[in-house]
A and B are shown apart, each in its own frame.
Chain A
C-alpha cells in the first residue's frame, strides 16, 4: 500500500556515509562544504550519518591504500540494501597521482560496483551535489527493483 510512498521518500532522504580510503583530505573537505550554508545539501534531505548501518549513499574518497582496503570492504558490506556507492574525486577511479605506488590497491571498481563517479582533484561542490542528486535517482530505482 505504501510502497510508492516509500519509493518516493527513498529519493528524498538519502543519508550519506563517508569513507576515507587514504584520501588527502581535499575531497573530504569539499564533501563537508556541500552541507554548509553556502550549498546546503540538507535542502535535498542529505544528512551525514555516523554508521554504515543507516547509510543509503556511501561516498568513497582516496586511492584505496593497502591499509584501508580491508576496512573499506568490510564497511561496504555492512551497508543495508538498497545502497548506492559514489566515488569522489579522481583517486578512487584511477589512482590519480598515486597510480603505480606500492601502497595503493585501487581502483574502487575492484571491490564494488560504483554507481556514480565524480571526477576532479578535487571536484567542485556543485559537481558533488549533482552526483549525489544522480545517486538518489539510482537509489529510487534500486528500491523499486527490490520489491518487484
Chain B
C-alpha cells in the first residue's frame, strides 16, 4: 500500500476544517483571499478523493488510517481510524463534487448577502464534517461528525435570517434533528455497553457472536432511525421542506445532495456491513417500507406546493425514498441501483436547486403562482432546468432513467424471486411515483419558465456565467452518467456494491487478516454479483438522431420555398404596437396577462384525491411539537418492531 496515498483521507478532511478556520481569519480583510482559501480547500479535497479512485475503486484496496498511529492491540481497536473502502469513497466522491459545485456557485450567488465570512466558515465545516462522516471507521466519530453537520446546517439554513420563516425552519430542523442525533447517541451507547468498542470493523465482527441480544437489536433500531432522520425519511420530511425553502440555494444543494446522502450511507453501512442483517425479511420490509412511504407521500405533497424550493425539497425526499427502497431490497442489483440513484439524485437535484437559486437571484421570487415566462429572459437557465427536470422524471436518455430502470428491475426481480406481494407493490409505487414526479416538474416548467411573462419581470436578465458554469458541470454529469450506464456500473457501482457485501474484507483490513474468520464472518460473496445488462442509450440516441435527420430531410424536400421566404412568421420583440396576429388566441378578446400555473394546474387529479390531500395538509401542521411527536412515535414503532420480531 502506498503510504503517501494513505494520508489522503485525513488530509482531505483536515484541509476543509483548516480552510474553515483560515477563512474566518483572513476573510474579513479581503474577499478575494477568502474566496481563494475556500476554492483551494475545496479543490484540494476533490483532488485527493479523485486520486484515491484508482487504488480504491479500480484496484479494490481498502485504505486504513489510524490517527496517531494507534493501531489495534490484541484484537482491540482503541484508536480512531479512518477506513476508506469503495463504498466510502463512492460517497466521498459525491460529497466533494457537490461541495465543489456548491462552493463555486456561492461565489456569485451569495453576492447580495453580507457577513459572508460566517457563511464560508460554516460551509467548509459542513463539508468537512460530511466528508469525515463517510470516510470514518469509528462509530463515535460518525456521531461527532453528524453533530457538526447538523449544527452547521442549521446555522446555514437560518443564514438569510431576514427571510420569513428562516428562523422557524432552522428551529424545527434543530429540534427534530437533535432527536435524530440523540437516537444515534443512544444506539452507540448501547453498542458500546455490549461490545466495548467503537470501531466499525470490530463491531461488525463482534455482533454475530451476540446472538439475539435485545440490546444490540434495540441499538439497531436507534441507529437506523438516527440515520433516517438525517436522510429526512418519512415522517421527518416536513423539516426538509421548511429548511430548504428558506436556505440559500447552494445550501439546499448541500442539504439535499450531501446531507441526505449521509443518511443513506449510514443506512447502507449499518445494514450491510455492521449488522449484515438485510437477508432478514423484517429488515427488508422495514427499510424498503420506509423508503416506499417516503417516496410516495413526498411526491404527492410536492403537488400542493406553491414555492419552487419547497417543491424541490419534497422531491428530494421522494428520490431519497427511491434510494432507500432499492437499498432495502437486499440484493446486489438493489444496492447498485440505490447507489446509482443516490449519485444521480445529487447531480440532478443539485442542478434543479441551482436553477431555482438562479431564478431567485434574478427575480427575487420563488413563488410558482407569480412567476412565469422566464424562458424568454433566461433561456440558458431554462435549458438547464429542462435537463434537470427530464433527469429527475426519468426520461431517457438522462441519468434518472438508467437508475430508476435498475430500481424497477431490482424490485420486480425481488418480488418474482420471493413471490412476495410487498415487493411487487413497491415496484408499482416506484413506477407511479415516477409519473407523478414528472407531473410536478411539468407544473414548474409551465409556471416558472413557460407561459406568459408577468409585467414586473420584463427586465429580468440571464444569470452571470460564473453561476452557469457550476450548473453546466452538473448538467453535463447528468447526460454523461445517463449515456454510459455500463461504464458507471463497472467503474463506480460494482466496486461500491462489492464493498457493501464484503464485510469480512472491511474487518480484516482494519483489525488484521484473519480477524473476521476468527469471529465467524464469511468472506463476502463478490462472485456472481454481476448486475444485469444495461440498456444502451448511445445506440438509441443514434436511432433518434437518424429519425430526426430523416424527418428534417423530408421536410426540406417538401418545402424548399418555405425555407427561403419563410412561411414562419414571428413577431418583432421590440415592437411598440402589438400586432394582434401574434397575440395568444383569446377567443377574440384582447390578449391580457393570463398564466395557467402554480397550484391550479392538476385540478382533475387533485379533485379526486381531495380527502387525502386535506388529511396530509392537516398532518403537515408546521408545529414543531407535532413533528417531534411523529419522530418519537416512529422511533418507538421501529424499536418495538425490531425487538419483538427480530
Contact = CB atoms under 8 A, between A and B. Distances in A.
Interface stretch (A34-42, A71-79, A114-122, A129-137): A71-79
Contacts of A81: 567
B90 to A, nearest CB: 52
A146 B562 CA distance: 9
B561 interface: yes
Interface string B557-569: 1111110000100
Contacts of A126: none
Interface string B576-589: 00011101010111
- Main DSSP-derived SS at the A contact region: helix
A70 B588 CA distance: 8
B589 A53 contact: no
Q: Is the interface on chain A under 10, 10 to 19, 20 to 34, or 35 or more residues? A: 20 to 34
With a 10 A CB-CB cut-off, give which of A1, A51, A78 has the most chain B CB atoms: A78
A114 B558 CA distance: 30
Contact of A75 (B560, B567, B588): B588
B302 to A, nearest CB: 32
A78 B558 contact: no
A102 interface: no
B533 interface: no
A103 interface: no
B572 interface: no
B557 A74 contact: no
B590 interface: yes
Nearest to A20: B588
Contact of A77 (B558, B562, B567, B581): B581
Interface in A34-74: 51-53, 68, 70-74
Nearest to B554: A2
A53 B558 contact: no
Interface residues of B, number: 16
Nearest to B562: A147
A71 to B, nearest CB: 3
B559 A3 contact: yes
A1 B588 CA distance: 37
A32 interface: no
A53 B585 contact: yes
B213 to A, nearest CB: 72
A147 to B, nearest CB: 4
Nearest to B584: A78
Contact of A1 (B557, B567, B580): B557
Contacts, number: 40
A126 B244 CA distance: 67
A10 interface: no
A19 interface: yes
A73 B580 contact: yes
Contacts of B589: 71, 74
Given A77-B581, A78-B583, A72 B588 contact: yes
Contacts of B560: 1
A2 B559 contact: yes
Given A51-B585, A52-B585, A53-B585, A74 B559 contact: no
A128 B561 CA distance: 34
Nearest to B556: A1
Contacts of B561: 3, 147
Contacts of B559: 2-3, 6
Nearest to A148: B561
A77 B579 contact: yes
Contacts of A77: 579-581
Contacts of A51: 585
Contact of B558 (A1, A71, A73, A146): A1
B579 A74 contact: no
Nearest to A51: B585
Contacts of A75: 585, 588
A70 B583 CA distance: 14
A52 B587 CA distance: 9
Nearest to A19: B588
Interface in B476-491: none
Nearest to A5: B558
A81 B569 CA distance: 10
A59 B267 CA distance: 68
Contacts of A53: 585
A78 B586 CA distance: 10
B590 A2 contact: no
Contacts of B588: 19, 68, 70-72, 74-75
A6 B562 CA distance: 12
Nearest to A76: B580
A70 B590 contact: yes
Nearest to A74: B580
Interface string B385-404: 00000000000000000000
B625 to A, nearest CB: 53
A51 B585 CA distance: 7
A6 B580 contact: no
Contact of B557 (A2, A19, A73, A78): A2
A75 B580 CA distance: 8
A74 B590 contact: yes
A145 to B, nearest CB: 12
A142 to B, nearest CB: 13
Contacts of B567: 81, 146
A78 B590 contact: no
Contacts of B558: 1-2, 6
Interface in A76-92: 77-78, 81
A74 B589 CA distance: 8
Nearest to B589: A71
Nearest to B555: A2
Contacts of B583: 74, 78
A10 to B, nearest CB: 13
A112 to B, nearest CB: 13
Interface string B589-627: 110000000000000000000000000000000000000
A50 to B, nearest CB: 9
Given A2-B559, A6-B559, A78-B581, 18 more contacts: A1-B560, A2-B557, A2-B558, A51-B585, A52-B585, A53-B585, A68-B588, A71-B587, A71-B588, A71-B589, A72-B588, A73-B580, A74-B583, A74-B589, A75-B588, A77-B581, A78-B585, A81-B567
Interface of B: 557-562, 567, 579-581, 583, 585, 587-590
Interface of A: 1-3, 6, 19, 51-53, 68, 70-75, 77-78, 81, 146-147
24 contacts: A1-B557, A1-B560, A2-B558, A3-B559, A3-B561, A6-B558, A6-B559, A70-B588, A70-B590, A71-B587, A71-B588, A72-B588, A74-B580, A74-B588, A74-B589, A74-B590, A75-B585, A75-B588, A77-B579, A77-B580, A78-B581, A78-B583, A78-B585, A147-B561
Kindly list the 8 A-B residue pairs having the minimum CB-CB distance in the complex, ordered from nearest. A71-B588, A77-B580, A2-B558, A74-B580, A147-B561, A75-B588, A77-B581, A1-B557
